[in-house]
Amino acid sequence: MLRRWKAYFAAKEEEQRAEELVKKREGVRKRRAEKYQQAIDEVRRQNTHIERIGEKLEKADAERSTHGKGTAKKIDRLTAEMGKVEMEKQKSVKGMLRRADAELEKLEQKEAEDTMKIKWLVISEAGKEKGMASKE
């Protein structure tokens, strides 16, 4: 009777742990999806900025034939600015995606560590020692 009782509670404990784990995973996945969406929004925003610079660059290139040196400096400045914005975009998106994946990896590593732990029970025969030992 005692064994059944202990087995019942051990099963319930495992079921609760599994449910908690599912909730944590869903939360992490939801936050990961939000971070991915933020990265997509950031790319769109940066692309809009790059397009504006490209339009200015085309306008300056069209003016090059009439104004000469002054326009060449403007083109160089706009080209450098476009490269800078592109680098910022790549850096920020890479950071966002890295943070989004890091949280999921951390959870998976913790799950792996938990499964490596071995739980054991020692139940003595009836009439002998009464006791239970557990080790994690």
What does the pLDDT look like over 73-105, one tens digit per residue? 888 888 889 889 899 988 888 888 888 888 888
What is the residue-averaged pLDDT of the chain?
Answer: 79
Q: For 95, left (φ over 0), alpha (ψ -120 to 50), or beta?
A: alpha
pLDDT band at residue 110, thresholds of 50, 70 and 90? confident
| Neighbouring C-beta atoms of residue 53, cutoff 10 Å | 18
CB 31 within 8 A of CB 103: yes
pLDDT band at residue 48, thresholds of 50, 70 and 90? very high
pLDDT at 16: 87
What secondary structure letter does DSSP report for 95? H
User: Which helix (H) or strand (E) is 85 found in, with range?
Assistant: helix 69-116
pLDDT at 25: 87
Specify the 3-state DSSP secondary structure of 107.
helix
| Neighbouring C-beta atoms of residue 31, cutoff 10 Å | 14
What secondary structure letter does DSSP report for 129? -
